[in-house]
Amino acid sequence: MAVVKPFRGVRPNPELAHKVAALPYDVMNREEAKKMAEGNPYSYLHVSRSEIDLDDSVNPYDKIVYEKANETLKRFKAEGIMIQDDKPVYYIYRQIMDGRPQTGIVACSSIDEYVDNTIKKHEFTRPVKEEDRINHFDYCNADTEPVFFAYRSKAEIQELIYNWIENHKPVYDFKSVDGIDHILWVIDEEEVINAIEENFKTVDYLYIADGHHRTASAAKVGLKRREQNPNYKGDEEFNFLMTVIFPDEELLIMDYNRVIQDLNGLSSEEFLAKISDKFTVEEAQGTEPYKPEARHTFGMFLDGKWYKLTAKSEIIDETDMVERLDVAILQKNLLHPVLGIENPRTDKRIDFVGGIRGLKELERRTQVDMKVAFALYPPSMEELFAIADVGEVMPPKSTWFEPKLASGLFVHELE
């Protein structure tokens, strides 16, 4: 059973929504965030990346940064830049990228279901990354950014959502600077609210699609508040975390590609000979980048040429749902044994390029700071679900979701 409840969201004044909305905190560095918010005092980056309003010498994890975020969020409310709904509601959040919509419910999910694994994970988290958002949420007394959840689509929930869209006007409808349409409806009728809540109780599991660290951080802040309030009843806001929950059928996982700094001491000829043991290597036809069209095929850019790599059957274990993923096949049979990338999480010789950047970005990187690039075929939502269902995790940097959720369109206060 999935616990999904409405909440009193703090959200932008409709006239300012397009100015408040920002990219998630973790898709840019400090310098990029400062540039994005330049000349826009309403940008939510002043909350999510509050270090941009402090001297560059200030450590981004210093206490003063989190205090600044809290101060700015309070000011946004006091000045009417952001307002709070009078009663608990659900929100419908639709994004459209390149003509493809994805439409989810903005709601609160239970931290208990995160702890007991009703909310399924497919990635490991790193404590150092968790700590930053723990402090941010704790100092701000709010889930300051949502997490991206998915579920196996149910017709009854979809019908409720699309009926509401058909019969109500959105409160926000704008296009962000990156070309994504953001549309938001407020569901404020009790009958519909109750129907959504009851229908989600028939959903077996929710799945973290993107935002494992934010989810872990929000849950740990809730557990911390429980320790501070030993007589808590369970219905307090700190027992819940803010999510946007999408049906799987509307989601797109993009490729998450790799670039490597060198050939581990090999010449190009030696490298091509070595990888031919486990992959069929062919020069790609035409002048365009080679984009893999099926599982177990890879694009490789080396010395100004694109190659098609096809994994040989003897290295594919279709009985193991993790090992049969292309990211695992590439890591186990090429990146580690040939290029010496033992741990892709920590090795400084490897970098990762989200599919939204395109394959031309892989070419560019090999001309700037890298030697060889690999384009991968993305995993499916069903593969993600199947791995999470059995408590396994996917290899690092397996999934890239687009579009990213905008930050600043909704905030969930913890008390």
272 Cβ neighbours under 8 A, 6+ residues apart: 281, 302
Q: Tokens 């007589």 label which residue?
A: 231
On whether both 232 and 130 belong to a single domain, the answer is yes
C-alpha distance from residue 218 to each of 131, 140, 212, 391 (Å): 10, 12, 10, 21
Instruction: List pLDDT tens digits, range 30-75.
Output: 999 999 999 999 999 999 999 999 999 999 999 999 999 999 999 9
Radius of gyration of the chain (CA): 23
> In the prediction, which pLDDT does 385 show?
97
- Confidence at residue 215, expressed as pLDDT on a 0 to 100 scale: 97
pTM: 0.93
Residues 6+ apart with CB under 8 A from 227: none
Kindly state whether residues 213 and 164 are assigned to the same domain: yes
Beta bridge partners of 242: 108
The reply to whether 190 and 325 lie within a common domain is no
Here the tokens at position 11 are: 């959200």
Q: What is the pLDDT of residue 250?
A: 96
Nearest to 326 by CA among 285, 280, 365, 383: 383
pLDDT tens, residue by residue, 173-198: 999 999 999 999 999 999 999 999 99
Asked if the structure places residue 282 within a domain, the reply is yes
Q: Which of 345, 381, 62, 407 is nearest to 253 (CA)?
A: 381
370 and 242 inside one domain: no
pLDDT at residue 286, as a whole number: 84
Residue 127's pLDDT is 87
Is 303 a domain residue?
A: yes
Query: What is the token pair recorded at 209?
Result: 């699609």
Q: Could you give the CA distance from residue 347 to residue 116 in angstroms, rounded to a whole number?
A: 33
Residue 1 is predicted with a pLDDT of 83
Same domain assignment for residues 152 and 64: yes
Both 176 and 323 in one domain: the answer is no
Q: Is 228 inside a domain boundary?
A: yes
The answer to whether residue 210 sits within a structural domain is yes
Q: Are residues 176 and 243 in the same domain?
A: yes
Displacement of CA 304 from its chain's centroid (Å): 32
pLDDT at 255: 96
pLDDT at 30: 96
98 & 164 share domain: yes
In whole angstroms, give the CA distance from residue 112 to residue 12. Answer: 29
Count structural domains, the chain. Answer: 2
Is the domain of 223 the same as that of 355?
no
| Assigned domain for 179 exists | yes
> What pLDDT, on a 0 to 100 scale, did the predictor assign at position 265?
98
Domain with 206 in it: 4-252+402-413
The span from the CA of 349 to the CA of 299, in Å, is 19
Taking alpha carbons only, the member of 241, 174, 229, 243 closest to residue 16 is 174
Shared domain check, 260 and 247: no
**Predicted pLDDT at 128:** 85
Residue 393 within any structural domain of the chain: no
Residue pair 18/170 in contact (Cβ under 8 Å)? The answer is no
| Judgement on whether residues 241 and 273 belong to the same structural domain of the protein | no
347 and 407 in a single domain? The answer is no
CATH number of the structural domain spanning residue 336:
3.30.1760
The label of the residue with tokens 């905008």 reads: 406
Question: How many Cα atoms are found within 13 Å in the side-chain-facing hemisphere of 287?
Answer: 0
Question: Which residues in the chain land under pLDDT 50?
Answer: none
CA–CA separation, 413 vs 10, rounded Å?
A: 8
Domain-embedded: residue 387: no
For residue 306, the one-letter residue type is W
| 154-170 b/e (C-beta count within 10 Å ≥ 16 → b) | eeebeebbeebeeeeeb
Residues 103, 116: Cα–Cα separation, whole Å: 27
Cis amide prior to 24 (ω within 30 degrees): no
User: What is the reported pLDDT for 95?
Assistant: 98
Domain-embedded: residue 369:
yes
> How far apart are alpha carbons 51 and 152 in whole angstroms?
38
